[in-house]
C-alpha cells in the first residue's frame, strides 16, 4: 500500500503542465523515430540522449518514458505496414500484422496494436510499481558474487536463448565485452586498449556504440541492398476504427498477451521476444481449437487480428516489466534498458537499491510518467496512426540522409568532439558487417553496458575472498542463478535440435509430392 501513496506523489509531479509537455513531446518524437524502418525505441532514446543534456533529471526521464512507449508503438507500425520490424520484439507482430495490411486491414491492425499496447503498458507499469520495491529488498542481500551470477545469467539468456544462432549471439556479446573494456580500468586504474590515444582513456561512450551499431549501421545496410531495399511508398492507410467483431476477438488476446508479458518481463534476460512468440503461438492454437469446435474459422496465416493483439500486448507489458530489474537491480536486460541505464549514469544516478532510497521521488515520478506516457500514446496514436504511416512516404534518400545527419549530431553533441565521430564510424562499419552476416546486434550492446559491471563485480568478489573462487557459488541465490543458466542453455539446445528436426521433416514432406 505504501507503493500506492508514493505513486500518487509521483503523479503529482508528472502531471505538472511542463512535465506533461515533455511526455507529449517524448511520445511524439519516439513514435516519429520508431516509425522509421529499422529503428526501435532503443534508437529513439539514444538519439535523444544528447538533447537532454541541459534538462533536469526529472524532465529528462519523463521525456524518455514517452519516447520509450512511442518508439515501441512506432516499431509495431513498420512491422504491420512494411514487414520490417524495428526491433526483435516486434517480429512476432509482423506475421499476422503484415498479412492484415496486405488484405486491406492495416488500419484495424494498427488500432488493435494501439489499444493492446495501452492496456498492456498500464498493467505492466503497475507490475513495476508493485514489484520494484520487492526486487530492491531482494537486491539488498546481493553481494558481488550474486551480482556477477546475475550478469552471467543475463549474458547467456540474451546471447544464447534470444538470438537465432547461439554461436553468433555469443560472438556478438563477446565483441561487445571487448569494446566495453576500452579505457581506464576502474578497479586498478590501468589504461586498457587505448592505443596510446588520450581520447580513448574515457572508453567508448554507450551513445557512440548505440548510434553506430544501430542507426548508422542501418543506413549502411539499407544502402548496401541497393534497389532490393523495400520501397516505402507502397502503403495503404485508413482510419483505425475497430468493428465490434474486431474488438470481441481482440479482447482475449490482449488479456493473455498482457499476462504473458508481465510474467516474463521482470525476469532478467528473458527479453521481450519470448513472450511475444509465446503469445503468437498460444493465439494460433486457441484459434485452431475454436475452429475445430465449430466456432469461427481461424484466420491465422491470412491476417488474424488475434495474432496482432496478443503479441503487441505481450511486447508492451514485458517492456515495462524489464524496468523492474533495471530500477531494482541496476541491471539492463534489453537494448533499450541499456540505454536508459546510460541515461541514468549521465545524471550521476546509479539504478539499484540505492536509487530507491536516495532518489525515491525521481523513481516514482518516472513510474507515474510511464502511465501518463501510455495514456498519451493512446490519445496521440489511435486517431493519427495512419498519419504516422505517411512519414514513410518521404522520399527514401531524404529519410536516410536525415537519419545520418541526426546520428552525426547525436554523437558530436556528447562531448563536442570529432574523435567520438570517428569511433562511431568505425563501429558503424562493424555493425554493418553484423547486419549483413545476420549477427544479432543487441547482445553486443548488452555486452558493452553490462561487461564493465560484470567484471567489476567479479573482481570485487575475488578481492573480498582473497582469490578464493568458491565465493562465486557461496550463496543459494548464485547457485540458483547458475542452475537457471544451465537450464536456459539446455532449453535452447533442445529447441535448436527440435527446430532442425522440424526443418528436416518439412523438406522431406515437400519432396514427397515431387517424387
Partner 1 sequence: MMSERTAESAEAASGTGAEDAAAGAGVPAPAAAPEDSAGSPDAAQAAGPAEEAAEETAEEAAAPDPETTPWTGRSAWVFPGVTAAFGLLALSGLATIEPPPHATPPGPTVFPAVVGVLLLVLSACMAVVNVRVARRGPSAAPPMPPVAWRPVLIVLGALAVAAALLQALGWLLTGALLFWAVAYAFGARDHLRDAVVALAMSAAVQVGFSLGLGLPLPGGVLELMFP
Interface positions, 371-410, toward partner 1 (CB under 8 A): 395-398, 400-402, 404-406, 408-409
Is 228 a binding residue for partner 1 by CB under 8 A? The answer is: yes
Select 348 or 466, whichever has its Cβ closest to partner 1. Answer: 466
List the alpha helices (DSSP H) in 15-143. 17-35, 41-48, 57-82, 91-102, 106-139
The Cβ-side half-sphere exposure at 325, using a 13 Å CA radius, reads 25
Select 228 or 470, whichever has its Cβ closest to partner 1. Answer: 228
Who's near 129: CB < 8 A, 6+ residues apart?
3, 7, 364, 367
Select 17 or 438, whichever has its Cβ closest to partner 1. Answer: 438
Select 75 or 328, whichever has its Cβ closest to partner 1. Answer: 75
Please count the residues of this chain forming the interface with partner 1, following the rule CB under 8 A: 114
Q: What's the min distance (Å) between Cβ of 352 and partner 1?
A: 22
Q: What's the min distance (Å) between Cβ of 364 and partner 1?
A: 27
Q: What's the min distance (Å) between Cβ of 263 and partner 1?
A: 21
Is 473 a binding residue for partner 1 by CB under 8 A? The answer is: no
Is 503 a binding residue for partner 1 by CB under 8 A? The answer is: yes
Candidate list 216, 308, 389, 488; residue touching partner 1; CB under 8 A: 216
The size of the chain, in residues, is 515
Is 83 a binding residue for partner 1 by CB under 8 A? The answer is: yes
Select 357 or 468, whichever has its Cβ closest to partner 1. Answer: 468
Who's near 79: CB < 8 A, 6+ residues apart?
85, 86, 90, 91, 93, 94, 97, 98
Residue 349 is classified by DSSP as -
Enumerate residues 242-281 that contact partner 1 by CB under 8 A. 281
Enumerate residues 299-338 that contact partner 1 by CB under 8 A. 299-302
Enumerate residues 142-181 that contact partner 1 by CB under 8 A. 163-165, 167-168, 170-171, 174-175, 177-178, 181
Instruction: Provide the terminal-to-terminal Cα distance of the chain, rounded to the nearest Å.
Output: 68
Q: What's the min distance (Å) between Cβ of 135 and partner 1?
A: 27
Q: What 3-state class would DSSP assign to 365?
A: helix
Measure CA 75 to chain center.
Answer: 10
Q: What's the min distance (Å) between Cβ of 138 and partner 1?
A: 27
Is 5 a binding residue for partner 1 by CB under 8 A? The answer is: no
Q: What's the min distance (Å) between Cβ of 29 and partner 1?
A: 12
Alpha-carbon span 244 to 463, nearest angstrom: 64
Do 345 and 450 form a contact (C-beta atoms < 8 A)? Answer: no
Alpha-carbon span 285 to 301, nearest angstrom: 12
Residue 190 is classified by DSSP as -
Candidate list 17, 348, 476, 513; residue touching partner 1; CB under 8 A: 513
Enumerate residues 421-440 that contact partner 1 by CB under 8 A. 421-422, 425, 428-430, 432-434, 436-440
Enumerate residues 31-70 that contact partner 1 by CB under 8 A. 50-51, 53-54
| Burial readout 457-474 (b: 16 or more C-beta within 10 A, e: otherwise) | bbbbbbeeeeeeeebbeb
Sign, Cα dihedral of 184, 187, 189, 191: negative
Enumerate residues 185-214 that contact partner 1 by CB under 8 A. 185, 187-193
State residue 184 phi and psi, 5-degree precision.
-70, 130
Contact range with partner 1 by CB under 8 A, out of 103-111, 202-210, 319-327, 381-389: 103-111
Is 459 a binding residue for partner 1 by CB under 8 A? The answer is: yes
Amino acid at each position: 500500500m505504501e507503493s500506492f501513496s508514493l505513486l500518487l506523489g509521483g503523479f503529482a509531479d508528472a502531471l505538472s503542465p511542463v512535465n506533461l509537455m515533455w511526455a507529449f513531446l517524448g511520445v511524439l518524437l519516439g513514435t516519429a523515430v520508431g516509425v522509421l524502418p529499422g529503428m526501435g525505441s532503443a534508437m529513439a532514446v539514444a538519439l535523444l540522449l544528447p538533447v537532454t543534456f541541459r534538462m533536469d533529471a526529472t524532465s529528462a526521464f519523463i521525456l524518455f518514458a514517452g519516447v520509450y512507449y512511442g518508439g515501441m508503438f512506432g516499431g509495431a507500425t513498420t512491422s504491420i505496414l512494411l514487414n520490417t520490424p524495428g526491433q526483435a520484439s516486434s517480429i512476432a507482430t509482423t506475421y499476422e500484422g503484415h498479412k492484415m495490411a496486405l488484405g486491406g486491414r492495416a488500419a484495424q491492425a494498427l488500432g488493435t496494436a494501439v489499444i493492446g499496447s495501452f492496456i498492456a503498458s498500464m498493467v505492466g507499469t503497475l507490475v513495476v510499481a508493485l514489484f520494484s520495491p520487492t526486487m530492491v529488498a531482494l537486491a539488498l542481500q546481493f553481494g558481488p558474487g550474486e551480482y556477477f551470477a546475475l550478469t552471467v545469467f543475463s549474458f547467456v539468456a540474451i546471447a544464447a536463448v534470444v538470438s537465432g544462432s547461439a554461436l553468433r549471439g555469443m560472438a556478438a556479446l563477446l565483441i561487445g565485452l571487448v569494446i566495453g573494456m576500452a579505457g581506464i580500468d576502474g578497479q586498478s586504474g590501468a589504461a586498457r586498449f587505448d592505443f596510446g590515444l588520450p581520447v580513448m582513456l574515457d572508453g567508448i561512450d554507450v551513445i557512440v556504440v548505440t548510434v553506430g551499431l544501430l542507426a548508422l549501421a542501418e543506413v549502411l545496410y539499407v544502402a548496401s541492398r541497393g534497389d532490393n531495399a523495400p520501397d516505402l511508398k507502397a502503403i495503404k492507410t485508413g482510419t483505425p476504427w475497430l468493428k465490434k467483431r474486431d474488438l470481441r476477438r481482440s479482447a482475449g488476446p490482449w488479456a493473455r498477451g498482457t499476462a504473458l508479458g508481465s510474467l516474463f518481463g521482470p525476469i532478467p534476460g528473458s527479453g521481450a521476444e519470448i513472450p511475444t512468440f509465446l503469445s503468437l503461438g498460444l493465439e494460433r492454437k486457441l484459434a485452431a481449437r475454436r475452429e475445430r469446435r465449430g466456432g469461427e474459422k481461424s484466420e491465422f496465416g491470412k491476417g488474424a487480428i488475434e495474432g496482432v493483439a496478443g503479441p503487441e500486448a505481450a511486447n508492451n507489458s514485458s517492456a515495462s516489466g524489464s524496468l523492474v530489474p533495471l530500477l531494482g537491480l541496476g541491471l539492463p536486460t534489453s537494448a533499450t534498458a541499456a540505454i536508459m541505464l546510460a541515461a541514468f549514469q549521465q545524471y550521476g544516478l546509479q539504478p539499484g537499491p540505492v536509487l530507491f532510497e536516495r532518489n525515491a521521488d525521481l523513481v516514482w515520478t518516472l513510474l507515474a510518467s510511464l502511465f501518463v506516457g501510455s495514456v498519451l500514446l493512446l490519445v496521440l496514436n489511435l486517431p493519427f496512426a495512419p498519419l504516422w504511416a505517411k512519414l514513410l512516404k518521404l522520399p527514401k534518400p531524404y529519410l536516410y540522409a536525415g537519419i545520418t545527419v541526426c546520428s552525426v549530431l547525436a554523437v558530436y553533441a556528447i562531448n563536442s568532439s570529432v574523435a567520438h565521430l570517428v569511433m562511431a564510424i568505425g563501429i558503424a562499419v562493424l555493425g554493418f558487417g553484423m547486419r549483413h552476416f545476420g549477427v544479432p546486434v543487441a547482445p553486443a550492446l548488452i555486452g558493452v553496458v553490462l561487461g564493465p559491471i560484470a567484471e567489476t563485480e567479479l573482481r570485487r568478489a575475488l578481492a573480498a575472498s582473497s582469490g578464493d573462487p568458491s565465493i562465486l557459488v557461496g550463496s543459494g541465490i548464485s547457485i540458483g542463478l547458475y542452475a537457471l543458466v544451465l537450464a536456459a542453455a539446455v532449453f535452447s539446445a533442445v529447441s535448436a535440435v527440435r527446430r532442425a528436426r522440424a526443418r528436416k521433416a518439412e523438406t522431406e514432406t515437400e519432396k514427397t509430392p515431387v517424387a
